[in-house]
Amino acid sequence: MMGIQQALDQALTFLKGIWIKKRYIIISSWLICPIGWGLVSTMPDQYESSAKVFVDTNSLLRPLLRGLAVYNNPEQQVNLVARTLLSRPNLEKIAREADLDIQAKTQEDLDEVIDELKKNISLSSTREDNIYTISYPSASPELSQKIVQITLNEFVETSLGSNRKSSDSAEEFLNRQIKEYEQRLLEAEQRLAEFKRNRMDKAPGDTGDYYSKLQSQKGALQEAQLRLKELNSQLVSARAQLAGEEPVFGLATPSPELDTNPNISTQYDGRIASLEQRLDDLLIKYTDQHPDVVKIQGLIKSLKAERKKQLDAMKDVADKTGSYSQFGNLNQNPVYQEMKMNVANLESEIASIEVRVKTYKDNVKSLEEKINLIPVIEAEFQGLNRDYGIIKSKYLELLSRKDSAELSRKAEATSDDIQFRVIEPPRLPTKPSGPKRIIFYVLVLFVGFGSGLGIAFIVSQINPVVFSHYQLTQHFKIPILGAVSHVELAKIARVNRRRVIIFSLSTTVLLVMFAGIIGVELIYGKLPLHLLERFI
């Protein structure tokens, strides 16, 4: 690693080499600085106009209508408009409104105008305060103000128009979707109705589980069969008891009007009365076509026919005896009549149970025949119901969204959700804002002297000069025994002084020129070339 002393010696060697080649610094600075300063002084003035606008996104209606209306994020919307403000369609519109397209003869010229606008129009913002600044520099102050005003109008109109256009597009989209889902809902309802007409008649019911219905019918059938066995057993026992009992005790004197005499009674009167009472109870619950009602009506009709036969027989007996005035009641055995009525009730209930058993058997048979068809029908029905439910829920949700969109649109029509307040309108600039010629003058000065230093360093490295015995020792690796001075040392000193004087004068003249240019720039704003033209 090189030591500090060696590094200092090396740096000193480089400086001495550059100093010896200082003529390149003079040449470079005089070639670059005057030409550069002249070019900078001829740069045209730039006039910049700017405008500031405050975007107020705090609306009073938004918190009041929260949950009822739909609002876009206004800040995101304004940021999006700001990012797309300098798109080509907007720049073309700005160019047309500023009459810049008149100067463009070809498409290439128009492209250059658009590129120049995109390059020079500046849009900046402060995110905390929502303040946007629009600026544009131009050689013409009127054009600068005009471009800023047009851009500001475009920014405001695009933001408001985008909000309304978004609302209209959303409402139009919702209307299309509602019509589509309404049509799909009608189709789903038609499919469901058609399915019920063609398929559900083969199922045991519109809803419910098929297997539970089958088990229910089988259970009811078993209960009915068990009840039927019980009634048959009771009927056999009742008939056996009835066979061992005498029906009557004797016959009293007959009456000539047997059919209408209320004192005449037969063995069928109690059964008929009981069955008629039971029939009245059944007619309250069922229709005339019910199996129990039909069965009881048949029994009543049969008993009345038997009663009429008995009355006719009693009348014949009364005619033969010739005694009609004292025809009394038929002395019937009350125990026998009660047993007879019990048998009739059992027979009636057995008939009703038999009809019920037959009905349950038919239902079970029908369900068992459809054991493979019912699951398919129920699956199809559930699928149709599921599709119908999904479409209906989407349709109702779209209707709710449409109401929210209409409420939002009415709220926007009542009061703008985004308000623009121009803080500083674009003004006509009276003083140029650029270019920053002083900075360019300083840069030209540094470039002129810096390039000379670079050239001098490169030449000193290409054609090096030995300044000390240390360099000989380092390069040739031989010891140095002594040093001998030049014979014409005084002449060399005079030459060096002359070169130093020339370098100093050259540098001083350039610095004086630089100071004069800076002073004129500070006083006049630019070099008064129109005054110099009088002396040329």
The pair of structure tokens assigned to 515 is: 């100071």
Backbone angles phi, psi at 396, to 5 degrees: -65, -35
Q: Which domains does the chain have, with CATH numbers?
A: 13-43+435-535 (no CATH), 47-179+414-424 (3.30.1890.10), 210-385 (no CATH)
The highest-confidence range among 54-63, 183-192, 200-209, 452-461, by mean pLDDT, is 452-461
Return d(Cα 359, Cα 367) in angstroms, integer. Answer: 12
Confidence of residue 479 (pLDDT cuts 50, 70, 90): confident
Q: What is the pLDDT of residue 111?
A: 87
Evaluated on CA atoms 477, 483, 484, 488, the torsion sign reads positive
Q: Is 162 within 8 Å of 77 (Cβ atoms)?
A: yes
Q: What is the pLDDT of residue 262?
A: 47
Confidence of residue 252 (pLDDT cuts 50, 70, 90): very low
Classify 131 in phi/psi space as left (phi over 0), alpha (psi -120 to 50) or beta. Answer: beta
302-308-309 Cα angle (round to 5): 95
State yes or no: cis peptide before 435, omega within 30 of 0: yes
Q: Is 55 within 8 Å of 130 (Cβ atoms)?
A: yes
Chain position carrying tokens 């009061």: 415
- The CA-to-CA distance between both ends of the chain, in Å, stands at 61
Q: Is 210 within 8 Å of 381 (Cβ atoms)?
A: no
Confidence of residue 260 (pLDDT cuts 50, 70, 90): very low
Q: Is 29 within 8 Å of 455 (Cβ atoms)?
A: no
The highest-confidence range among 91-105, 157-171, 280-294, by mean pLDDT, is 91-105
Q: Is 398 within 8 Å of 177 (Cβ atoms)?
A: yes
Confidence of residue 446 (pLDDT cuts 50, 70, 90): very high
Q: What is the pLDDT of residue 251?
A: 43
